[in-house]
Amino acid sequence: MSIAGFLDDSIAVAENEFRLFRRNRSAILISLVVLPFFFTASLGAGRGGAGTTYYPTANIPIAWVDNDNSLASIRLWHSLATSHDFRNLIEGYTEQGALAELGTKRIYAVIVVPKGFQNDLENGYQARLILYTDDSEPGVSDQIQATLTTYTQNFDPNVDVQPYLSQLQRQSVAGVGIVTKGAIFAGFNVGLTTVLAIVQIFAGFYEIAGGMSREREDGTYARLLVSPIPIGSIMLGKTLFDVLLSVIRTFTVLAISVYGYGARPNTDILTLLSLSLIIALVTMGIGFVVAALKVGQRAVVIIEFFLILFLFAFSGLIIDSNLLVGASQVISYSLPFTYAFDALKRTILLGRPLLSLTFDLEYMIGSIVATYGLAFVLLHFSRERLIK
């Protein structure tokens, strides 16, 4: 068959896919609206926009119990209460009363200044603060402790107004300043690297594997196979269809992120689009392999769910791959998505040129070739099995 004929067939398959897609309102809604919008908006709601600053502990009600009633303890209270981080310090509790309230959702922590606080500071001893926390709220204890520590480790009991400490100074140990370099990224921008990929993986996998399963279950795949269109054209046609949807999804996510949440990716649109499409192609390759295994539509969705959960654990989304141990690390480094997330971080956050990420690109493109090749072989040799 000539290349022109092959391409004609592929375009015909792609057109057919679009026709089917256009007639399916739910599919349009989920693929182009719900997935990009839902994920991006959830990220913005959880982390705040890229240009906004919020202080996680600012509005958490915390009881302040001063058992020392000294000048030093009053100065400490003043430095905390006038900060951005502890705007909801509540006075007037006794220690017992405050502890009784802990766990009732009226207060989430109690800071107790023990007797002898000032005395210890005056005599050069390390004074203590006791922080009781409602640890049934995930992350709250750690966050309050970390924030409180930044204020206490450089506290000077001899001055009324504590000098303003920058974020860098707050990390320092008394006597040894730690000057940190390296760009600090807005939580939204970090999340964008995940959302951009997850949306493509989510939609791409379902559209390819789910679409082929649906065709098989409806009996239209059998008709497609008995037509003179070769397997390669079917795969290319479906890929072309999904690539176009991926482009729309990428622009949707970016538009919501940039215009809705003030995200400023540290790279150009072409890099973002290229990476996004590479991720979509890797996913489609895996989708074709799964479709060739003759699984039902529902099984496809279940596999997709497990795939996404798997990626969260092993692709460096929650914890960096280099910190994983043993077999988990081997799994992580063998997943093409690990390199995809890495490339997204290096471009969106660090502004590295796409072509400088040679290994990431090689691994992802290699994975596309491998999965498409495997899918082609499987689809070719299981023609009979797939139409039964």
The answer to the question of residue 60 lying near other proteins (CB under 8 A) is yes
Q: Quote the CA–CA distance of 130 and 110 in Å, as a whole number.
A: 8
220 binds other proteins (CB under 8 A): no
In the three-class reduction of DSSP (H, G, I as helix; E, B as strand; rest coil), residue 64 is classed as: strand
> HEC profile for 88-122?
CEECCCCHHHHHHHECCCCECEEEEECCCHHHHHH
Beta carbon nearer to other proteins, 202 or 221: 202
Taking the least distance from each CB to other proteins, the nearer of 217 and 268 is 217
CB atoms within 10 A of CB 39: 20
Q: What is the DSSP letter of 272?
A: H
Contact call for residue 365 and other proteins (CB under 8 A) = no
User: Rounded to the nearest whole angstrom, what is the least distance from the CB of residue 271 to other proteins in the complex?
Assistant: 15
Nearer to other proteins, 8 or 135 (CB): 135
Binders of other proteins in range 26-55 (CB under 8 A):
26-27, 30, 34-35, 38-39, 42, 44-48, 52, 54
Q: Which is nearer to other proteins, 5 or 177 (CB)?
A: 177
The set of residues, in sequence order, having a beta carbon less than 8 Å from that of 219 and lying 6+ positions away, is: none
By rule CB under 8 A, what count of residues binds other proteins?
105
Phi, psi of 37 (to 5 degrees): -70, -45
Contacts of residue 214, Cβ cutoff 8 Å, sequence gap at least 6: 297
Pick the stretch among 78-86, 150-158, 159-167, 250-258 that binds other proteins (CB under 8 A): 150-158
Q: 84-103 mask for other proteins (x: CB under 8 A)?
A: ---------------x--xx
**Residue 357, CB half-sphere, CA atoms under 13 Å: how many?**
23
- Please give the residues from 323 up to 362 whose contact with other proteins meets the rule CB under 8 A: 323-325, 328, 342, 345-346, 349-350
210 or 336: CB nearest other proteins: 210
Cβ-based nearer residue to other proteins, 130 or 377: 130
Which tokens sit at 235? Answer: 């795969």
Touching other proteins, residues 262-321 (CB under 8 A): 296-302, 304-306, 308-310, 312-314, 318-320
238 binds other proteins per the rule CB under 8 A: no
Query: In sequence order, what are the beta bridge partners of 65?
Result: 112
CA gap 251, 254 in Å, rounded: 5
